[in-house]
Amino acid sequence: MTEETPHKSGYAAIIGKPNAGKSTLMNRILGHKISIATHKAQTTRHQVVGIYSDDDTQIVFLDTPGVITPSYELQKAMMKTVERARADADVILLIYDPNDRHPTDEVIELLRSINKPILLVVNKIDLINRKEAEQKAAHLEDRLRIRSIHYVSAVTGEGVDDLIQAIRGLLMPGPPFYPKEDLSEHPVRFFVSELIREQLFLLFHEEIPYSCTVEVVSYEAGEDLDRISANIIVNRKSQKGMLIGKGGEAIKRLGIRSRESIEEFIGKQIFLDLHVKVREKWREKENWVRNLGY
C-alpha cells in the first residue's frame, strides 16, 4: 500500500437463486472452504461471512441463502438474512447461473428498488457457450440497473481476479474491519455444525437434510484432541429412524464423514458424539427457529 493507492474496505453481498454457485464462489475467492456447498439447492441457511484481504483491500463477503418465496418459518428467517445482507452491503453481487431454466423473478424483485451498485456475475461459464451466456445476461440487464457484467467459473477460478478488482473499484477508502489473517467472524462451533449439516445433504435424500438442523451442545478443546457433542434435530419422529438407520449404520457413517470433514477444517483430531432429537415441526415454529440460531 502506498500514498497513491489508499486502503479500501467494504461489504459485498452475494445474492442469487438457490444453486447458482454463491458458496462455491466465496470459497474460491477466499481460497478456503468457509461456506458449505453441495449440489442440492438451499444448502446455505445462514449469512456466512467470509473475509478477503490483500495488502490494500479488505472485502467482507456476505454469502446468503438462495432467494425463494418462503413457505414456512425457517425459510422466512432465511429470507430475512438475505434482506439484511442487501441492506448492509456496499456492493451487490448478483450470481446468475445461465444454465438455469427457471425465471429469476424473485431475485429481480428483491434488487429492483435498491440504490447500490449491482455487479452481474454470470457463473458456470465453463459449462456454457459464451455467446449464449451473453444473450441470457442481456435479458437481466434489461430488467435491473447493472453496473457491470462478469463471466466467471467458481469451480475453475476463471474471471475471479477481475471480479475482485471490479469490487475494489467500487469501495471507499478505509481501514480493514478485521485482522488481515481472519477468514471469517464465525466461531469454530458454527463451522462444526455447518460441516455436519453438509454431510446430511451429501448422505441423505429428499426431505431429510431440509428437515434437520445441528446444535453443538459442547465443544471441549484439548491439547491433542477436541471433544464435540452435537444434536441433530429432526422435524418428525419418523425421520429419527431414517437418520439412525438399521443397526445404527446411517448415523455411524454420518459421524465418520463429519469427523473427517471437521478434522480437515480445524487441522486437529476430534472425538465426535452425535445424537438425534425430535422437535416436532420445528421448522414451522417461530420460537424453535429462533432458538436454533436462525
Point out the annotated binding site.
16-23, 63-67, 123-126
Q: What is the maximum span of the chain, computed from C-alpha positions, in angstroms?
A: 66
Instruction: Give the Cβ contact number of residue 100 at 10 Å.
Output: 16
**Alpha-carbon distance 107 to 41, whole Å?**
15
C-alpha 40/C-alpha 96 separation (Å) is 16
Within its chain, how far is the Cα of 190 from the centroid? 12
Number of Cα atoms under 13 Å in the Cβ half of residue 238: 3
Place of cell 459421524: 255
Q: How far apart are CA 232 and CA 172, in angstroms?
A: 43
Please list the residues that pair with 259 across neighbouring strands.
none
Residue the block writes with cell 429469476? 104
- Cα separation, 27 vs 8, in Å, equals 21
Task: Say how far apart CA 107 and CA 68 lie, in whole Å.
Answer: 8
Detail the residues annotated as belonging to a binding site for GTP. Answer: 16-23, 63-67, 123-126
Phi, psi of 205 (to 5 degrees): -115, 170
